[in-house]
Amino acid sequence: MTSGPIRTKVVILIALISLAVILISAYFLGFLEIRRDIDIVVSMPMRGTSVGPDAVNGMKLALEESGYKSGGRKIELTIKDDGNEKGEWLASKEWEIATEAAGDKQVMVYVGPFNSGAAKISIPITNGSGLPQVSPGNTWPGLTKPGFSIGEPEAFYPTRIRTYFRVCPTDDLQGPAAANWAKELGFQKIYIFDDGQAYGKGIADLFEKRAYDLGLEIYGHQTINTLSQDITENIEDIRKSDIDLIYFGGITTSGAIPLLSRIKEAGIRAGFMGSDGLMEQAFIDQAGMTAEGAYITQVGIPPSEMTGKGREFVDKYRSRYSIEPGTYSGFGYEAMNTVIAAIEKAKNKDRAGILDALSKTSDHDGIFGKWSFDVNGDTSLSLVSGNRIQNREFVFQKLITEER
């Protein structure tokens, strides 16, 4: 006869085994939901510039509205800084963040980066592991479209499967639209500077090409490789000439502020036009009165001009953060809402399932209107705005959208 203590242990063991069988059976029969969380990694410059924090604020607002859940799973958000204290993106940081995210099987989506040059680092890494990537800010066309740079975009997709998407229009729209606007404003003789990065040089080249086609005179085109680069000779040439517009392709942290200072110190009265890498409060704060009167283009439309769902977003953003949304706040919000919707629609809540759902995004009713992803992973949105800095604020002038 089995003793009392032994009999008790046997009964407990049998009970535990029976419970395990019941739980496993219930799971496979769909009576019990046992789900893993979904991790999302965000890579953006978070210091020295306002574009990263602005975009992240938009992402967090979208997640808060969803309760940090989608498709029955909880979403965990991890914010990584791919820049230095000046806001300049670092290749080593972007490589490290993307590699870590790609190797973590819990991470289902990679959101970012902001800079197109950084995207050239991370896209091949996320692509190689099948990790879906969605950017709110990359605008260099060659990341997805052929014909802009040798070897692009094939070099970014080692698996030959597109895993990268972006919710913002690209510079093959913005650059030519800016040149059209320059002519419309009456400018005739132009000097171009760029920061040498994928985004800055790319959009400057596109601006230059359209300007030539329009019959505008390009006096010179100089790449500023470092903030300390001596451009005295270029400034002197501009001062002695009758140039009426200086165009800069690049971001706030890559030479725009020193360039503006040198222009003003030399007494040059030419107009100044920049791309949306300057469309942030940090540019106005750092440039001060030297930026007054500058013309700045941007993809999308500014918060002040949004209507419908866009206006609702602006009101919610103001209420949540007690500040005005930045240029990329809306694109951050749009990117995260696209991810949330894809997770909800995915048959399998894994990388492959979410990727498939993202690629099928169609007629998404967002804050900029309805749009879809095309076969390249690009948005069908085609809005470009012209703005001017007046009294230390960006003031909307008009839509300058260039027809595709």
User: Does the residue 203 lie in any domain?
Assistant: yes
d(CA 321, CA 332): 15
164 lies in the same domain as 183: no
Provide the domain limits for residue 325.
38-169+306-373
Within 10 angstroms of residue 397's Cβ, the number of other Cβ atoms is 17
- Splitting the chain (404 residues) into consecutive groups of 10 residues, what average pLDDT does each group show? 52 54 48 67 95 97 98 97 95 98 98 97 98 96 95 97 96 96 97 93 96 97 74 88 95 91 93 95 93 95 93 98 94 98 97 98 96 97 95 95 58
Q: Any idea how long the chain is? A: 404
H or E segment at 236?
A: helix 232-240
pLDDT of residue 290: 95
290 lies in the same domain as 223: yes
pLDDT of residue 232: 84
91 lies in the same domain as 196: no
46 lies in the same domain as 159: yes
- Compute the radius of gyration of the chain from its Cα atoms: 25
207 lies in the same domain as 280: yes
User: Does the residue 28 lie in any domain?
Assistant: no
d(CA 166, CA 361): 12
pLDDT of residue 230: 76
d(CA 33, CA 125): 33
pLDDT of residue 16: 55
User: Does the residue 195 lie in any domain?
Assistant: yes
308: which DSSP letter? Answer: T
pLDDT of residue 12: 55
264 lies in the same domain as 391: yes
264 lies in the same domain as 208: yes
How far apart, in Å, do the first and last CA atoms of the chain sit? 88
185 lies in the same domain as 116: no
Give φ, ψ of 384 to 5 degrees. -135, 135
pLDDT of residue 369: 93
pLDDT of residue 177: 97
216 lies in the same domain as 89: no
205 lies in the same domain as 88: no
97 lies in the same domain as 243: no
Give φ, ψ of 366 to 5 degrees. -105, -170
User: Does the residue 7 lie in any domain?
Assistant: no
245 lies in the same domain as 311: no
The structural domain count of the chain equals 2
User: Does the residue 69 lie in any domain?
Assistant: yes
Query: What CATH number is given to the structural domain containing 315?
Result: 3.40.50.2300
User: Does the residue 331 lie in any domain?
Assistant: yes
Residues facing 14 on adjacent strands: none
pLDDT of residue 353: 98
User: Does the residue 15 lie in any domain?
Assistant: no
pLDDT of residue 327: 87
User: Does the residue 31 lie in any domain?
Assistant: no
